[in-house]
Amino acid sequence: MKYIILLLALQISVFSSFSQSYSNAESVEYDPINDRWLVSNRNRIISDDGQGNLTYFGNGSASHGLEVVGSMLFGVDGSTVRGFDLDSENEVTSIRISGARFLNGLASAGNNILYTTDFTGKKIYKLDFSDLSNPSSEEIVSNTQSTPNGIIYDGANNRLIYTSWGSNAEIKQVDLSNNSVSTIINTNLGNIDGIDDDANGNYYISSWSPDRITRYNSNFQNPVTVTTPSLDSPADIGISKSSGVIGIPMGDSVIFVESGVLSVSNFDYNTEMKIVPNPVVASSKLMINSTISSPTKIELLDLTGRHIKTISENISEFKNVEIPLSNLNVHSGVYFIKLSSSKGTVATKKVVVN
C-alpha cells in the first residue's frame, strides 16, 4: 500500500518585480481568509499562493513561529511577538518578553490567547492579546525538561503539545490545569522541529534525522511516514485543515504536499490527475490516467471540503481520460476536484475558477 500524495508545488526561487525569494524560510501558516500561505523568512514575512508567486506581507517582520488567529497573524520576531491585521497587513500590536532567550514556536488557544516556546531558556510563555494596545505575558513553564521547539494547543484535552530537539527526541505535553509537564512519547527521531494537526485530529511532525514528515493518530500511535519529495531540514510546518495540504519550509525553499481533501487514504492505485489550463477557461480539461478499475465519482468541493456538484460518476476505466470543464457554472474562487472510488479518496486537485 502506498499513499497517493500529490505534489502541488516545489519552489526554490521565484521572481517578481522585486525578486522575492526564500533565504531562511522557517515557519509556514495557512491563511484561510485569503487562501494563501504566510512564511517567516529571516526578517520578513512572505505571502505565497502555493503556485510559485511570492509577495511581501506588508512590512511585517517575523523570524520564527507564525499563527493565524481569526483576522490576525501573529509572528515571533526575536524576543518580540508581533500581531498583524490580515487585511491591511499592518502591524497592530506587539509585546516584548523580557528575559526570553530564543522564542521559537507559536500556538493559539483562541480568544486572543497564545503560547510561545523559549528554545534556549526551556520555558513556555502565555500571551494575552485581549487588549491589543496593552498585551501581557506570563511564564507558565519554567523548565520544559527538554529543548522545546514547535508547539500546538489541544483544547479537547486542555493541554499544550510541543516537540523537542536532540536525539531520540520527545513529544511532551503541558497540562493547562496545573501547568505540569510530562512526556507523551519518546520517538526514534532526531531534532523534531514543527508540529501541526489536520481536520481529523491526526498530528504531523517534521524531523531532521531522518529528514521527513511523520503522521501520528490522535493518541500519538501508529506513526506513518508521509510520502514527500526529498527533504532537507524541514522546519515549522503548517497544514490547511480545509484541503489537507502541508506547507514545508526548508531554508531556501517551501514545498506544498497535498495529502487529500480532509483525509489521507491508502491505495494501490497509480493515479495522475491534472487540469489544463488552470485557472479554468472554456477549453479546460480534467486529464486523468489511473489504474482504478472500480466505479468512481468526480466531485467539485469548496475549500472546506463541502460538496458543490458532481462532475461525473460511475466511470470504471481511467486510462488517459479527458473530461471537459466548460460547464462548472460556479462563482469565481478556489475549489478542489476530488476523485474517489468506493474505497475512499484517490486524489484531489486544486482548481481556480476566474
Is residue 335 within 8 Å of 324, Cβ to Cβ? no
Reported confidence tier of residue 249, pLDDT bands at 50, 70, 90? very high
Is residue 19 within 8 Å of 29, Cβ to Cβ? no
| Alpha-carbon torsion (94, 97, 102, 106), positive or negative | negative
Helix (H, G, I), strand (E, B) or coil at 288: strand
Fold match between domain 2-258 and domain 266-353? no
Is residue 208 within 8 Å of 191, Cβ to Cβ? yes
What integer best gives the mean pLDDT of the chain? 86
> Nearest Cα to 337, choosing from 345, 329, 48?
345
Lowest mean pLDDT among 14-28, 145-159, 181-195, 307-321: 14-28
pTM: 0.72
Q: What is the pLDDT of residues 284-342, one digit of tens each?
A: 999 888 877 677 888 888 765 678 899 988 776 777 889 999 889 888 877 878 887 76
> CB within 8 A of 182, min separation 6: which ones?
172, 173, 175
Lowest mean pLDDT among 189-203, 266-280, 307-321: 266-280
Q: Which amino acid is at 36?
A: R
Task: State how far Cα 58 lies from the chain centre.
Answer: 21
Reported confidence tier of residue 242, pLDDT bands at 50, 70, 90? confident
- What is the number of other CB atoms lying within 10 angstroms of the CB of residue 68? 19
The string of DSSP codes covering 189-201 is -EEEEEEEE-TTS
d(CA 235, CA 212): 10
The string of DSSP codes covering 221-241 is -S-EEPP-S--SS--B-EE-T
Domain at 266-353, CATH class: mainly beta
Could you tell me which residue, 11 or 68, shows the higher pLDDT?
68
Strands of 254-258's sheet, edge to edge? 6-11, 254-258, 245-249, 238-239
Domain definitions of the chain by residue range: 2-258, 266-353
Among 3.40.50.1580, 2.120.10.30, 3.30.565.10, 3.90.1580.10, name the CATH number for the domain at 2-258.
2.120.10.30
Is residue 189 within 8 Å of 207, Cβ to Cβ? yes
> CB within 8 A of 190, min separation 6: which ones?
166, 167, 168, 169, 207, 208, 209, 210
